[in-house]
Every structure is written in C-alpha cells, then in structure tokens.
C-alpha cells in the first residue's frame, strides 16, 4: 500500500515557498524532482492542485482545500513527535533559530553554543537578521526579538531578559562640549541616533518619581547599527544611548564614561517567540529556559 503522506511535505513547501523553484532550494532538491512529486500526488488524488503557467504556480480550489487539511495533519504529526520527545531525557534534534544581528551575535549565540556543547545530539541552525521573519512560513522553531513582539497569531512568547541602557560619551567630547546634567540638557548636545523603522528610536527615561520622559534630541549623524554608534561615540562625535553590554569594554578602558546615572533608562525587553503548540520539543524548551537563565549575566554589565 502506497504511503498516503508521500509528497505531502513537498506540496506544502511548494505552497509556502510560492513556487516549485524556491521549494526545491529549501528542500535541497531539483525543480524537476519537486514537479514530479507534485505530479504524482495529483495523479494519486485525481485532481489538479496547481494552476501552472510559465512564470508561476497558483493553487486551484481543490489545492487550497487539500493544503488546509495537510497543514492540520502535519501539525498533528509534529505534536505527536514532540509529545514522544518530551519524555526523553536527552536534548536532541534540529533547532532553527532567528536572531537579531548584533544582540544575537554578541549575547545569544554564546549561550546557545554552550547548550550545544552540553548536548552533542542538538543541531543548531542560527540565522542572523534584523528583519522580522515569518516563523511558521519559514519553518523557524524559535526567534529572539528585541522589543515587545505583539500579538502574533499562533505564536507564543516569553520575556527572557531586559537589557539595561546607558547614556555615554567620550572624555574628549565632554572636554569640548561640557557634560549634560539632566535630560533636558541633552538638547544642547550632538546625539548619535539609532534609526529604526524610518524614525529615530526614542531615548526614554524615568525621573525620580517614576514618570516616563522622552528626551528631545538634535543630531546630524544617524545609524542603523548600534555598534557603529559606539564607534562614533568613542571617536568623540557625540552622546550615545546604548545597551550597557555593548560598551562595557570601552567603559572599562576609559574610552567612554556614563552620563545621567541619576535617571533610569527604560530597559529594552527581549522575548523568545515560537509557534504555539500543545506540546513543544525538549530541545526548544531547553533553549528557551537556558536563554532566560543565562542572558541576564551576559547583558547586565
């Protein structure tokens, strides 16, 4: 008896990838192999699943119905595998993780590599990008995201760390321009601004009474990379507002000094995000728990 699931995963990948060619890339197959698999599936079902043109493939009405049922079936299979795996003591299998470029490289990656060192059967696929990926469509098991992740449909979240942020500048800049004494006086200085989503990321503080204050700034230099901001601050180009872990070495060496310590900066919360499921694999649970347990020590400097 032919396996009724034969070709289903290739079909689902072809739908989610938006075409046979891209599905072939994701599955490490040839486009011809994907096309033949879909053709065999259509012959077995006795229906046409895709409208084919020379440039694209789109689902037929039957294809859309079948796709929705296939998703449910695959989810049940994954839940069954996760349930079986949850009873094992060993953390094993492949974990595909989306990480922000800078924070992921400097803080998250070392924690996950240590987890992999402790569990030789764990396979890590780490992807670094500041773009927000579609976890379900792109088959990610986990994402680490800075800032509130929102109410994504079908996603679960857990806060894993709060990153402390500080205002800092170089001694040479302060010798020339003076030292800001309060949040309002930042307007008299050159801010080194982090540019995100087509606007400057706001510098937010709490005063002694706990009231939130957003600093008014002026700037002539803006960046889409916080490491570049730290470099500019060391070179005396202005005042920066950065995660403390990023500039800990420069502070220790005296290349930068902290400012406005009497005002508490709004921390940057970081979350683990993963596709919701009734049961999650032990490897995913271990990764989330390990990040929550260890990132504070890495970032709270």
Task: Give the CATH number, domain containing residue 222.
Answer: 3.40.190.10
203 assigned to some structural domain: yes
Q: How many domains does the chain have?
A: 3
101 and 246 inside one domain: no
Residue-wise pLDDT tens digits, 217-255: 999 999 999 999 999 999 999 999 999 999 999 999 999
Taking the C-alpha atoms of residue 250 and residue 191, their distance in angstroms, rounded to an integer, is: 18
CB 292 within 8 A of CB 286: no
289 assigned to some structural domain: yes
Query: What are the φ/ψ torsions at residue 184 (nearest 5 degrees)?
Result: -65, -35
180 and 203 inside one domain: yes
116 and 242 inside one domain: no
Domain final residue, candidates 82, 115, 130: 82
159 and 273 inside one domain: yes
125-128 contacts: CB < 8 A, separation 24 or more? Answer: 125/94, 125/95, 125/96, 125/97, 126/97, 126/99, 127/96, 127/97, 127/98, 127/99, 128/99, 128/100, 128/101, 128/104
Domain final residue, candidates 82, 114, 138: 82
Residue-wise pLDDT tens digits, 249-269: 999 999 999 999 888 888 889
116 assigned to some structural domain: yes
Q: What is the mean pLDDT of the chain?
A: 89
Q: Which domain holds residue 24?
A: 8-82
pTM of the model: 0.70
**Domain with 42 in it: what CATH number?**
1.10.10.10
104 assigned to some structural domain: yes
182 assigned to some structural domain: yes
Instruction: Look at residue 1 in the predicted model and tell me its pLDDT.
Output: 36
């Amino acid at each position: 008896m032919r396996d009724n699931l034969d070709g289903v995963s290739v079909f689902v990948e072809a739908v989610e990838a938006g075409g046979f060619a891209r599905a072939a890339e994701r599955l490490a197959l040839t486009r011809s192999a994907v096309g033949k698999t879909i053709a065999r599936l259509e012959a077995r079902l006795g229906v046409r699943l895709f409208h084919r043109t020379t440039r694209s493939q789109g689902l037929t009405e039957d294809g859309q119905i079948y796709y929705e049922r296939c998703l449910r079936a695959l989810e049940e299979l994954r839940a069954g595998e996760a349930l079986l795996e949850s009873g094992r003591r060993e953390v094993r299998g492949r974990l595909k993780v989306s990480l922000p470029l800078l924070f992921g490289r400097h803080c998250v990656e070392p924690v996950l590599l240590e987890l992999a060192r402790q569990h030789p059967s764990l396979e890590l696929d780490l992807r670094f990008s500041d773009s927000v990926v579609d976890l379900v469509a792109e088959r990610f098991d986990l994402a680490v995201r800075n800032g509130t992740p929102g109410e994504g449909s079908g996603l679960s979240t857990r806060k894993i760390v709060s990153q402390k942020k500080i205002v800092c500048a170089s001694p040479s800049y302060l010798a020339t321009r003076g030292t800001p004494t309060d949040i309002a006086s930042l307007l008299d200085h050159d801010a080194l601004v982090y540019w995100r989503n087509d606007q400057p990321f706001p510098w937010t503080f709490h005063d002694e009474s706990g009231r939130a204050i957003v600093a008014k700034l002026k700037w002539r230099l803006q960046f889409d990379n916080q490491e570049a901001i730290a470099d500019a601050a060391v070179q005396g180009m202005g005042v920066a507002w950065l995660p403390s872990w990023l500039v800990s070495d420069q502070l220790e060496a005296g290349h930068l000094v902290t400012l406005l310590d009497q005002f508490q900066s709004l921390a940057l919360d970081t979350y683990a995000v993963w596709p919701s499921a009734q049961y999650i694999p032990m490897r995913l649970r271990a990764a989330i728990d390990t990040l929550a347990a260890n990132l504070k020590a890495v970032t709270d400097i």
